[in-house]
């Protein structure tokens, strides 16, 4: 190190150790005391507008999730081309049948006592649905069109220090603007950032790890700054908070510092070991600390290589992924960390190691949890480019906004080690023709310009067209949505040397519902608008899980899959999008309440390599079918098992390659139903019994039983305990067909937030404290207040012994 640089470093290090922890930058979340009004109001932007009669809400907020469900909301008469439909038909429930359409106003009055004259003030929005127009103290400061994007405005000139400031936000949601439930309102965080003029720019820190080994990692940190005569001191801290490396820099290139810092014996980030470091970036002018930003990051190496595939930290692996829409079931689209964490914990148990944010930009909270819990991430940008899927979709803004939307996506999220790939689009109609090829190349070059470390994909469904036009050839990673029959041809045609299953399966099922006869079915429909949980039903354009399993297992050039979807979501009630009532999807591995379907255990038996899986289906309550055929399936990580009905053996089944299903499932197709006990005994590799599972014919519902995912939650007014509620008979056997109407009451330092039973046809509103069981279960959400203390949830039902669960908020 040069002597002058060394002297600067020593002085700055001494300053760091001596300076008081004065706040040089403050971030204030505007969560509480928002006023909300749904409707048109030409005066609401004004500073002195009287909003006292407006509803008071907390942000994040989704105004539409409170319902009611109505088939007339956004009723679309359309032929869904990506589903190979030719004739327009009436679609009800396609966007969830919830009242998201219309205008809404939010107002907030705030002051910033820590603000000092001459500082910068930044307004940051992490998502607003949609087309937000932002006003501060009656003056318009900006607008943004894309409801899924993060954006910010410098409002230094509009902000008034020492006084209350009035923030007003106008939102407008058009009909025919979405293919699923988009939500409505300020559904992600809103923050105010106050900092000095001499400071690090918003999203101005960019961390990469260009060289990684077990002994040494090179960490490159680019830091964009504003101001003159600045010096930058950067510390890298490990997960325990110890400093492992530091570097001082005095010479920026234009407005950017570029540092290369060595970290010895690095802990590498992976789904199995999601180790996180922190970079503390401090900006000085002379001896005065002007700004400080902490950025979490991971040290890891990703590669995509022809005829090898994807590798993480030098190890070749395949993505075990799911696609997720952005709604959180009964909470709608309003971001909640407890709900996100619960989803990811469920996915971890399933064995998932990757998530695709379909078809929108992910929330920052979701990415933070992916970093912490260990999920690789495909961050997607758009569902539409210039050609429309729906009349009022993103196609209206593509030409003017796409570049700035991509730039914000990349800048806001590129330090997350979880992101291993960008996706610039999903099933865009632009796949046809030369113009689409140009758009694909243009978008990919923007991603490369802003982040040269990650490749770009597109989820392609028009695979034949993309082979002919060259669309698929220009992509870093060719992503195929379904079209399993074209994988071989696509691999031979595309030059990349590998294929990604960017969207797979779309098998449909309803939790705990079984249909007879048990057979494969395309677009099967029933009078109750449910799909069979034997997991043999799919759509005209999709397939069964085994079709993808075989490609993953037998083709080394297939680098993984992302199943549609990890959880059911609001909207797109395929195959019942022409039926009412039906208002949410059937694609999920888990239902809208987060309760696992049978298919959960089929995937778990393959993906969770740490724990054994043994799951038996269907349930064993078939009054009226005595003596009739009720096939039995077993989803298990074991290769063979023996089935018993009331102690009588029905023989041993082994997995074999005769059919796709028998390769991955154990199936007894000729079982005559008789009430009693259904038991399976699985055998280990030594041929000895290794595990068993039994289910019993239940009597009449007798008692309510409850199980909380967490009995201790934070007293922050946001945390949620998810309580699974079911009923059992007098002997304690679960009642799998119960549909009792239950009521919920919360006492103490908590409140009832919502409930969901996972029934795609239910029109009961989530926020009301009553709901029917569906297939014997539902989930109640209990939310904390800001006061610590005990919480009691009581659940009642007619002719049922009540249930209670005790929680604590602290």
Residue 234 confidence (pLDDT) above 80? yes
Flag whether pLDDT at 1 surpasses 60: no
State the pLDDT at residue 88.
85
Domain boundary among 678, 696, 714: 696
674/627 Cα distance (integer angstroms): 6
- Distance in angstroms (rounded) separating the CA atoms of residues 774 and 597: 12
Instruction: Name 404's Cβ contacts closer than 8 Å, sequence gap at least 6.
Output: none
The answer to whether residue 11 scores a pLDDT higher than 80 is: no
Does residue 581 register a pLDDT over 90?
A: yes
Rounded to an integer, the average pLDDT of 637-655 is 98
- Over residues 309-318, mean pLDDT: 98
Q: State pTM to two decimals.
A: 0.96
Q: By the 8 A CB rule, do 749 and 790 touch?
A: yes
The answer to whether residues 356 and 435 belong to one domain is yes
On whether both 340 and 467 belong to a single domain, the answer is: yes
Domain of 124, in residue numbers: 31-195
Residue that terminates a domain, selected from 142, 170, 195: 195
User: Are 177 and 291 within one domain?
Assistant: no
Q: Report, as an integer, the average pLDDT of 256-264.
A: 98
Catalytic residue among 427, 546, 572, 674: 427
CA–CA distance from 570 to each of 198, 354, 495, 809 (Å)? 45, 22, 38, 30
Residue 309 vs residues 4, 430, 556: alpha-carbon distances, Å: 47, 27, 8
Q: Which of 464, 488, 457 is nearest to 558 (CA)?
A: 488
pLDDT of 235 strictly over 90? yes
pLDDT in tens, 387-419: 999 999 999 999 999 999 999 999 999 999 999
Q: What is the pLDDT of residue 23?
A: 75
pLDDT at 625 over 70: yes
Domain contains 750: yes
pLDDT, position 9: 43
143 and 111 within one domain: yes
What pLDDT shows up at residue 14?
Answer: 43
Considering the domain boundaries, does residue 574 fall inside one? no
pLDDT for 269 beyond 90: yes
pLDDT tens column, 532-544: 999 999 999 999 9
The verdict on whether 503 is a catalytic residue reads yes
Q: Is residue 438 part of a domain?
A: yes
Residue 94 lies in a domain: yes
Give the end of a domain, one of 297, 329, 352. Answer: 297
Determine the average pLDDT of the residues in 254-273. 98
Q: What is the pLDDT of residues 772-809, one digit of tens each?
A: 999 999 999 999 999 999 999 999 999 999 999 999 99
Going by their DSSP bridges, the two strands 720-728 and 777-784 should be labelled as antiparallel
If asked whether residues 17 and 36 sit together in one domain, one would say: no
Query: Tell me, what CATH number does 79's domain have?
Result: 2.60.120.260
pLDDT band at 677 (very low <50, low <70, confident <90, very high): very high
Instruction: Identify whether residues 155 and 96 lie together within a single domain.
Output: yes
CB 382 within 8 A of CB 394: yes
As a whole-number percent, the residues of the chain with pLDDT over 90 amount to: 95
pLDDT of residue 78: 83
pLDDT of residue 22: 53
Backbone torsions φ then ψ of 16, nearest 5 degrees: -60, -40
Same domain, 106 and 228: no
pLDDT of residue 68: 98
Residues 755 and 785 in one domain: yes
Question: Quick one: average pLDDT of 7-20?
Answer: 40
Mean pLDDT of 291-311: 97
Candidates 50, 484, 549; CA nearest to 318 is 549
- Which pLDDT does position 473 carry in this prediction? 98
- What pLDDT, on a 0 to 100 scale, did the predictor assign at position 16? 41
Q: Is residue 126 part of a domain?
A: yes
Q: Residue 724: its pLDDT value, please?
A: 98
For residues 217 and 245, give the distance between their C-alpha atoms in angstroms, rounded to a whole number: 11
* Helix or strand holding residue 603 (H, E): helix 598-607
Taking residues 726-751, what's their average pLDDT? 98
CA distances to 116, 200, 777 from 120, rounded to whole Å, are 9, 11, 52
Residue 206, class by beta-carbon neighbours within 10 Å (0-12 exposed, 13-18 middle, 19+ buried)? buried
- Phi/psi class of residue 470: alpha, beta or left (left: φ > 0; alpha: ψ in -120 to 50)? left
Cβ within 8 Å of residue 568, ≥6 positions away: 329, 584, 585, 586, 587, 588, 590, 591, 592, 758, 760
Read out DSSP for 524-535?
---TTS---TTS
**pLDDT class of 524 with cuts at 50, 70, 90:** very high
For residue 499, give the CATH number of its domain: 3.20.20.80
Q: 3-class DSSP state for residue 429?
A: helix
CATH code, domain carrying 688: 2.60.40.10
Is the same domain home to 16 and 55? no
Q: Check if the beta carbon of residue 152 is closer than 8 Å to that of residue 187.
A: no
Round to whole Å and give the CA distance between 273 and 267: 9
Q: What is the pLDDT of residue 19?
A: 36
Q: Which of 394, 392, 468 is nearest to 424 (CA)?
A: 394
Same domain, 232 and 267: yes
The catalytic residue among 292, 301, 380, 503 is 503
Cβ contact 92:75 at 8 Å: yes
User: Is position 623 annotated as part of the catalytic site?
Assistant: no
Return the SS3 of 750. Answer: strand
Within a domain: residue 595?
no
Judged against a pLDDT cut of 80, whether residue 5 lies above it is answered with no
Residue 778: inside a domain: yes
254-265: average pLDDT = 97
How does the average pLDDT of the chain come out, rounded? 96
d(CA 620, CA 695): 7
Residue 395 gets which letter from DSSP? G
Q: Quick one: 364 and 494 in the same domain?
A: yes
207 within a domain of the structure (yes/no):
yes
Mention every residue, 6+ apart, whose C-beta is less than 8 A from residue 174: 101, 392
Q: Band of the pLDDT at 77, cuts 50, 70, 90?
A: confident
Q: Answer whether residue 94 shows pLDDT above 50.
A: yes
How many structural domains comprise the chain? Answer: 5
Confidence check: pLDDT of 84 > 80:
no
Q: What is the pLDDT at residue 4?
A: 39
If asked whether residues 682 and 645 sit together in one domain, one would say: yes
Strands 376-380 and 354-357: parallel
């Amino acid at each position: 190190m040069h002597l002058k640089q060394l002297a600067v470093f020593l002085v700055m290090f001494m300053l760091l150790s001596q300076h008081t922890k004065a706040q040089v930058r403050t971030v204030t979340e505007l969560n509480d005391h928002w006023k909300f009004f749904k409707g048109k109001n030409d005066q609401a932007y004004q500073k002195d507008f009287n909003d006292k009669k407006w509803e008071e809400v907390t942000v994040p907020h989704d105004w539409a999730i409170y319902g009611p469900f109505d088939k007339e909301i956004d009723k679309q008469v359309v032929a869904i081309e990506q589903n190979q439909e030719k004739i327009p038909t009436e679609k009800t429930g396609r966007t969830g049948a919830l009242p998201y359409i219309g205008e809404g106003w939010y107002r907030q009055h705030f002051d910033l006592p820590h603000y000092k004259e001459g500082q910068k003030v930044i307004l940051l929005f992490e998502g607003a649905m949609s087309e937000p127009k932002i006003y501060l103290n009656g003056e318009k400061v900006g607008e943004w069109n894309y409801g899924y994007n993060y954006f910010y405005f410098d409002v230094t000139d509009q902000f008034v220090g020492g006084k209350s400031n009035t923030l007003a936000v106008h939102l407008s949601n058009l009909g025919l603007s979405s293919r699923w439930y988009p939500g409505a309102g300020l559904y992600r965080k809103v923050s105010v950032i106050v900092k000095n003029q001499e400071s690090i720019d918003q999203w101005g820190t960019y961390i990469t790890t260009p060289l990684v080994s077990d002994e040494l990692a090179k960490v490159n940190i680019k830091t964009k700054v504003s101001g003159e005569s600045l010096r930058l001191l950067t510390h890298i801290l490990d997960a325990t908070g110890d400093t492992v490396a530091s570097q001082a820099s005095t010479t920026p290139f234009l407005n950017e510092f570029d540092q290369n810092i060595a970290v010895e014996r690095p802990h590498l980030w992976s789904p199995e070991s999601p180790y996180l470091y922190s970079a503390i970036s401090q900006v000085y002018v002379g001896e005065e600390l002007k700004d400080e930003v902490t950025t979490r990051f991971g040290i890891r190496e990703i590669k995509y290589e022809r005829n090898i595939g994807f590798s993480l930290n030098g190890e070749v692996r395949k993505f075990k992924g799911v696609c997720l829409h952005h709604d959180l079931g009964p909470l709608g689209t309003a971001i909640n960390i407890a709900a996100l964490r619960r989803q990811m914990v469920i996915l971890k148990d399933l064995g998932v190691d990757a998530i695709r944010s379909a078809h929108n930009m992910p929330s920052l909270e979701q990415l933070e949890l992916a970093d912490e819990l260990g999920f690789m991430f495909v961050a997607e940008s758009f569902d539409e480019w210039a050609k429309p899927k729906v009349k009022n979709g993103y196609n209206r803004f593509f030409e003017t906004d796409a570049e700035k939307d991509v730039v914000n996506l990349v800048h806001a999220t590129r330090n997350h080690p979880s992101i291993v790939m960008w996706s610039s689009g999903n099933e865009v109609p632009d796949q046809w023709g030369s113009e689409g090829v140009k758009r694909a190349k243009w978008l990919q070059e923007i991603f490369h310009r802003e982040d040269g470390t990650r490749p770009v994909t597109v989820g392609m469904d028009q695979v034949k067209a993309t082979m002919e036009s060259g669309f698929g050839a220009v992509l870093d990673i060719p992503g195929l949505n379904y079209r399993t029959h074209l994988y071989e041809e696509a691999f031979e045609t595309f030059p990349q040397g590998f294929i990604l299953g960017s969207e797979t399966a779309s098998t449909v099922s309803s939790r705990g519902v079984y249909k007879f006869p048990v057979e494969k079915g395309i677009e099967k429909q029933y009078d109750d608008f449910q799909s069979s949980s034997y997991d043999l039903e799919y759509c005209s354009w999709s397939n069964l899980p085994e079709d993808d399993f075989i490609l993953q297992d037998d083709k080394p050039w297939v680098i993984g899959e992302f199943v549609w979807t990890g959880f059911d979501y609001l909207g797109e009630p395929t195959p019942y999008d022409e039926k009412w009532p039906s208002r949410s999807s059937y694609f999920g591995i888990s239902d809208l309440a987060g309760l696992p379907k049978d298919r959960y255990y089929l995937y778990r038996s393959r993906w969770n390599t740490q724990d054994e899986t043994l799951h038996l289906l269907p349930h064993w309550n078939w009054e009226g079918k005595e003596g009739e055929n009720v096939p039995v399936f077993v989803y298990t990580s074991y290769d063979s098992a023996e089935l018993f009905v009331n102690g009588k053996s029905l023989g041993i089944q082994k997995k074999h390659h005769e059919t796709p299903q028998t390769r991955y499932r154990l199936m007894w197709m000729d079982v005559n139903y008789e009430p009693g006990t259904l038991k399976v005994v699985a055998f280990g590799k030594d041929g000895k019994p290794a595990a068993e599972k039994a289910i019993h014919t239940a009597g009449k519902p007798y008692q309510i039983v409850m199980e909380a995912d967490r009995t201790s939650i934070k007293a922050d007014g946001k945390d949620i305990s998810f309580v699974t509620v079911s009923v059992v008979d007098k002997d304690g056997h679960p009642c799998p067909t119960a549909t009792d109407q239950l009521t919920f009451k919360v006492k103490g330092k908590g409140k009832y937030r919502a409930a969901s039973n996972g029934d795609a046809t239910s029109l009961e509103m989530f926020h009301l404290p009553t709901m029917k069981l569906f297939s014997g279960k539902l989930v109640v959400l209990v939310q904390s207040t800001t006061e610590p203390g005990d919480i009691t949830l009581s659940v009642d039902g007619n002719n049922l012994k009540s249930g209670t669960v005790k929680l604590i908020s602290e």
